[in-house]
Amino acid sequence: MLGDLIGEGGMGTVFKGWLYYNPQGPRAGTRPHPVAIKVLHPLLIARQYIRQLFVGEAIALRRLSHPNIVRFFELVEPPGQLALVLELVEGDSLDKVIGRQISRAQKGGALPGLPFARAWHYFEQLLGALAATHELGIVHRDVKPANVLIRTDGLCKLTDFGIARLPADVARRSGGMQPGTGAYMAPEQVLGRDLDGRSDLYSAAIVLYEMITGRTPFDDETRSELMVRAAQVEEVVPPVTLYLPQAPPVLDLLFARALAKEPSHRFANAVELGNAFRTALGLPVTTGWQAQQAFAKHATGIVAQVTPEPSGQAPMEPAPLPEQKVSTRGRTQPIPIPHAESLRAAVAGAYRS
């Protein structure tokens, strides 16, 4: 059931809605609950290949059901439309959280960005979501603060998986400018080259940079979108200590590698990136970070399960993984359902305030 308008963007319109379960299905008696319904822009569904591009990843993410990823319930296709039924997150997007901190700093007496402990709390969850999805060969393509939702209990949710892939394919076919937000795009994305998990990690590192400095490294009010994209390819990242003098100098070295122009010069995966920052800064190994690594290790085994779908419908066929894959170090055989649920509970419980 479609409800009030929540927001609009280049990809489509988001409404609040309610999900009702089939009274004759396996979840009969389950109470209706609120959801977010993203109706994709008509221009994105004008070609038949759009559905094929998106559906495989959507089903895989539904089966993964990572606590730090907005849950996907259904893909709905009314005549001439394509809509995604998603978890409704009560809270704020990370860009609004950062914006409020910047406003406080401009009034004087506050850090330019978030306190590091709070920024790391959010960043660790973002890395956990990317670690698991990269194990499946899924690349987000649009990691930025506006796509990180923070619940009122402190749990972060990464949203809009795969949607950036749709116009990217159109741009590649038409010779147009690559879609995305220049301030967070990896150099290879600006140049229209193939992407992998390291492209997402470049964007994630910029999110952390912005959280602690209150600004992105290559953007300012004097630059156009094209100038920012050019800077991603050509300029060296400004030291964090330039904007936050009290920061340890090792942060400059860490960001220099995380934001290297060549993917081969960056951290290889999300766990390696997180461990490098944690070790260099003397941060403790939290129960949350341990849970994130365990979840990522078993991501392929979780997706391989054949279980009743959340909508109460019959189980769907196992989702094919995307053609472009990163190294999969985890198990490929299904793991027991109770084990998967315990992994999810460990991640979610570690970050709720």
The catalytic residue positions are 142
3-state secondary structure of 149: strand
Per-residue DSSP letters for 235-252?
SPPPPGGGT-TTS-THHH
Per-residue DSSP letters for 36-102?
EEEEE-GGGSSSTHHHHHHHHHHHHHHHH--TTBPPEEEEE--TT--EEEEEPP-EEEHHHHHHHHH
Nearest-10 Cα torsion for 25, 29, 34, 37: 10
Q: Which residues contact 324 (CB under 8 A, 6 or more apart)?
A: 137, 139, 194, 195, 196
- Distance CA(339)–CA(321), nearest Å, equals 22
Q: How many other CB atoms are found less than 10 A from the CB of residue 320?
A: 11
Please list the residues that pair with 297 across neighbouring strands: none
Residue 254 carries which side chain, given as an amino acid letter?
A: L
Q: How many other CB atoms are found less than 10 A from the CB of residue 1?
A: 12
Which tokens is 275 given?
Answer: 């461990």
**How far is Cα of residue 9 from the mean position of the Cα atoms in its chain?**
17
User: DSSP label at 160?
Assistant: -
Q: Which letter, b or e, does each residue of 218-236 get, where b requires 16 or more Cβ atoms within 10 Å of its Cβ?
A: bbeeeeeeeebbebbeeee
- Distance CA(14)–CA(244), nearest Å, equals 37
- Distance CA(76)–CA(304), nearest Å, equals 23
